[in-house]
């Protein structure tokens, strides 16, 4: 009888010991897992600090900050950031930058009604470099991101650099890759980048003679900046002649004082973006946009009516060829000329039977391609932008979500021609509640609690999904609850990719 209690006690001790052993073993396993996770976190933190250290001080020498003082500290410390611009591209950038742990406060000049939700908007003219530099010095801005092409062409980055303020974007001379179509052709000729055959004209009669000799289809481009609308893909001789007449008679002001007339390239267009610090080149995710105003790629050219990412036409082989045959030779040629290109370079490509050929360069993120790229970006964008400006981009890695993204532009009736302003847009809060949807503002302004249209391209209704079809359905579901009778949009964004 005395054995039973002893046996029970022994069994209880064995169970207790087993329980303690099991708990100890599982705790050690969890500690090992946590240690591995912490090691990975530490690695990522170290990589970030290395990239930022190189970006802030690539040659190891002390830098000059605003007013000749000490350079803003960027080694993992938070800083004030200013974004120049007020369109959909800038809203997408602000949306991404505001999430960065390096951003202590975000400003935008001039911003828009959507940007005002994530940044403080200030009344500065983006092309007034002197005023911007002075304001940055007064407000302790550590980094400036230039969104649109016009401030870049005006040399705002040069002025900021002279004031010791780091800025993302190319210098004025390098920005000629977009500011002058003729300059881009010269660069392509010099580095052997494949592009369309072309001729340049300032004389109306000579240009018309050339068009008549070549026939249609043919492409007429205003040499300078024309807000994405200075290109006419003329399918008939009458269209080509009218485009020459318009451009050389002042329809685009100084931008059309010279025209570049190109051969028509058949194929499928794609947008290819890279970041560069003048030496290292990091390709971004691929994208494709829709330039024509109406469904079926009909109607006049626009700044872009929608976009999606990734672009199936940009296969890994096509990306490699675009890098090796077009982008890298261009970067090398710019460096050889003593004007290294730093920032984002957007190569508009025509993918044909012989491979990629350059349609045009833009010296800033595309609009609306930037919107889908920012939705898919899975890493902090700020270290990469800093590295573009100050070196060390080879130490930065970009990661992209597998989920496709799509954006649909809602434009004011009449765009790209004349359109009404100050019409009210309703239903934006309801649209933003659709799963996976983010509404980026382009041409909007706030009027109390109301949101008013204030431009040609007004909203970018954007969405992610497990498939491109799901992203499309979500974007159009959001559009269906937006109440804006004075607006229109294409209903077939991503049709090429979806047909595949």
DSSP string, 154-191: TTHHHHHHHTT--EES--TTTTHHHH-HHHHHHHHHHH
* C-alpha to C-alpha distance for 182 and 233, rounded to whole angstroms: 17
Yes or no: say if 280 and 393 are a contact pair by the CB < 8 Å rule.
Answer: yes
- The pLDDT score that the predictor gives to residue 495 is 93
Rounded CA separation 204/95 (Å): 45
The residue to which tokens 């530490």 are assigned? 42
The residue whose two tokens read 């007449």 is 245
- pLDDT for the residue numbered 18: 60
Q: How far apart are CA 170 and CA 146, in angstroms?
A: 9
DSSP code string of 292-305: EEEGGGEEEE-S-S
For residue range 233-242, list pLDDT tens digits in order.
999 999 999 9
Residue 492 has pLDDT above 80, yes or no: yes
Strand partners, 48: none
Report pLDDT for 75: 45
Cβ-contact 220, 247 below 8 angstroms: yes
Mean pLDDT estimate for the chain: 88
Helices 328-336 and 181-191: angle between axes, nearest 10 degrees: 100
The dihedral built from the CA positions of residue 444, 482, 495 and 378, taken in this order, carries a sign that is positive
User: Is the pLDDT at 10 greater than 80, yes or no?
Assistant: no
- Give residue 74's pLDDT: 43
pLDDT 10s digits, 137-172: 999 999 999 999 999 999 999 999 999 999 999 999
pTM: 0.81
Q: Domains in the chain, ordered, with CATH?
A: 66-168 (3.40.50.20), 182-194+267-402 (3.30.470.20), 197-264 (3.30.1490.20), 405-499 (3.90.600.10)
Q: Let me know: does 274 contact 282? Beta carbons within 8 Å.
A: yes
> What confidence score (pLDDT) does residue 500 get?
76
Interacting residues of 12 by C-beta distance below 8 A, sequence separation 6+: none
Q: What is the mean pLDDT of residues 317-327?
A: 97
* Angle in degrees, CA 325, 146, 179, rounded to 5: 55
């Amino acid at each position: 009888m005395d054995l039973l209690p002893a046996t029970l006690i022994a069994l209880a001790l064995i169970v207790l010991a087993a329980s303690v052993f099991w708990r100890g073993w599982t705790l050690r396993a969890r500690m090992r897992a946590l240690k591995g996770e912490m090691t990975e976190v530490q690695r990522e933190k170290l990589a970030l600090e290395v990239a930022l250290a190189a970006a802030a001080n690539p040659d190891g020498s002390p830098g000059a900050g605003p007013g000749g003082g000490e350079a803003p500290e960027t080694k993992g410390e938070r800083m004030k950031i200013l974004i120049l611009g007020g369109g959909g591209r800038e809203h997408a950038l602000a949306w991404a930058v505001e999430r960065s742990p390096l951003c202590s406060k975000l400003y935008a000049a001039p911003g828009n009604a959507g940007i005002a939700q994530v940044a403080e908007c200030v009344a500065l003219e983006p092309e007034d470099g002197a005023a911007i530099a002075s304001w940055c010095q007064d407000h302790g801005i550590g980094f400036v991101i230039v969104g649109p092409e016009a401030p870049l062409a005006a040399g705002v980055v040069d002025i900021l650099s002279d004031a010791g303020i780091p800025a993302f974007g190319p210098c004025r001379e390098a920005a000629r890759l977009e500011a002058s179509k003729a300059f881009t052709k010269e660069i392509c000729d010099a580095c052997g980048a494949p592009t369309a055959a072309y001729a340049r004209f300032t004389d109306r009669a000579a240009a018309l003679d050339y068009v008549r000799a070549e026939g249609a289809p043919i492409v007429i481009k205003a040499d300078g900046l024309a807000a994405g609308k200075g290109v006419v893909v003329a399918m008939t001789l009458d269209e080509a002649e009218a485009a020459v007449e318009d451009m050389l008679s002042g329809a685009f002001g100084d931008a059309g004082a010279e025209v570049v007339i190109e051969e028509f390239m058949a194929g499928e267009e794609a947008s290819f973006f890279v970041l560069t610090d003048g030496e290292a080149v990091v390709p971004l995710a691929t994208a494709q946009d829709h330039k024509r105003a109406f469904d079926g790629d009909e109607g006049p050219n626009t700044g872009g009516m929608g976009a999606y990412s990734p672009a199936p036409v940009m296969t890994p082989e096509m990306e490699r060829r675009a890098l090796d045959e077009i982008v890298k030779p261009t970067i090398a040629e710019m460096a050889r000329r003593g004007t290294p290109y730093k920032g984002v370079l957007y190569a508009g490509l025509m993918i044909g039977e012989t491979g990629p050929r350059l349609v045009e360069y833009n010296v800033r993120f595309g609009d609306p391609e930037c919107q889908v790229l920012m939705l898919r970006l899975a890493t902090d964008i700020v270290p990469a932008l800093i590295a573009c400006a100050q070196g060390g981009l080879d130490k930065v890695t970009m990661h992209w979500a597998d989920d496709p993204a799509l954006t649909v532009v809602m434009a004011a009736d009449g765009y790209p021609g004349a359109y009404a302003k100050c019409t009210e847009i309703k239903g934006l809060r309801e649209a933003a509640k659709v799963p996976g949807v983010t509404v980026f503002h382009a041409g909007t302004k706030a009027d109390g609690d109301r949101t008013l249209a204030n431009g040609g391209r007004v909203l970018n209704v954007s969405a992610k999904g497990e498939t491109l079809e799901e992203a499309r359905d979500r974007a159009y579901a959001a559009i269906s609850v937006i109440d804006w009778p004075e607006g229109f949009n294409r209903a077939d964004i991503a049709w090429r990719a979806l047909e595949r």
